[in-house]
Amino acid sequence: MEWFIAVVSALIGAVVGALASYLFTDKNNKQRTQRLESAFYNEFEYLSGTLENWFPTLVGEYQEPLREQYSGLPFLDLSLIDALVIELASTDKLVTPTQRKLIVRLRPVIRSLVKNNEKRDEYVDSWMLNSHTMDNSEERNSSKKISYYTGLLLVDVTQAIFHLKKLSTEKERFTFSKSITSEDLAKACCSSSGIPYDETVWKPMLFRLGHK
């Protein structure tokens, strides 16, 4: 009888131990998943915040293209997001297809920002170095070129900010907005950045760039 009790006790101990181990592992896995998910959305908030801080300065530089000082494109990197996507793939919190689509679409936007910022810098550098010797025609050309590339930057920035903030808010429910215009994006970004939307600035700019 004693041996039977010993066997039963051992079995119960093994079951309890296995259950405790499972619960501990499950708790750790859930905590890890929560940390990964939080880091994933925090990175989108960081990127949107970075661009949102730059946005009012860019608007000012578009309105006054010839000046003594200009801002530069902030560092934008999706490598951490890519790493978090891989880590989340091993959990029950997979990145949704729509979220994945946004990440894919962000890459050409960032490449466009880099390209247009470099082109703008060419005209900015020329203006900064040669402004004292430029005639009126050359000044007008510099103003036109700098404002043109600043406008292109603004179009990309408004698109990025809007969708990054939308994903940060909606998280796994994120969807792309239908029938949204470039003007709608600009209005939303002005509102979130705390600056007034001036249609006398934005409408001509968007028309000039082919974004009605």
As given in the structure block, the two tokens for residue 22 are 């499972």
Ranges of each domain in the chain = 2-208
Nearest residue to 95 (alpha-carbon basis) of 47, 166, 32, 33: 33
Q: What's the rounded Cα separation, in Å, for the pair 62 and 180?
A: 23
Predicted confidence at residue 42, as pLDDT, reads 93
Q: Which residues 6+ apart lie within 8 Å of 161 measured at CB?
A: 48, 51, 52, 55, 185, 188, 189, 192
Consecutive sets of 10 residues in the chain, 212 residues long: mean pLDDT of each? Answer: 48 44 54 89 94 97 96 93 90 89 96 97 96 93 97 97 94 91 95 95 95 75
Predicted confidence at residue 4, as pLDDT, reads 44
Which residue's structure tokens are 């009012």? 56
Answer for the pair 155, 80: CB distance below 8 angstroms, yes or no: no
Which residue's structure tokens are 């998280």? 171
Alpha helices by DSSP H, listed for 77-135, are 79-88, 97-130
Predicted confidence at residue 16, as pLDDT, reads 41
As given in the structure block, the two tokens for residue 119 are 């082109």
Q: What's the rounded Cα separation, in Å, for the pair 43 and 45?
A: 5
Nearest residue to 85 (alpha-carbon basis) of 45, 36, 128: 36
DSSP 96: P
Predicted confidence at residue 145, as pLDDT, reads 97
Q: What's the rounded Cα separation, in Å, for the pair 42 and 67?
A: 35
pTM: 0.85
DSSP 22: H
Residue 28 to residues 22, 89, 107, 151, Cα–Cα distance (Å): 10, 17, 34, 48
Predicted confidence at residue 2, as pLDDT, reads 54
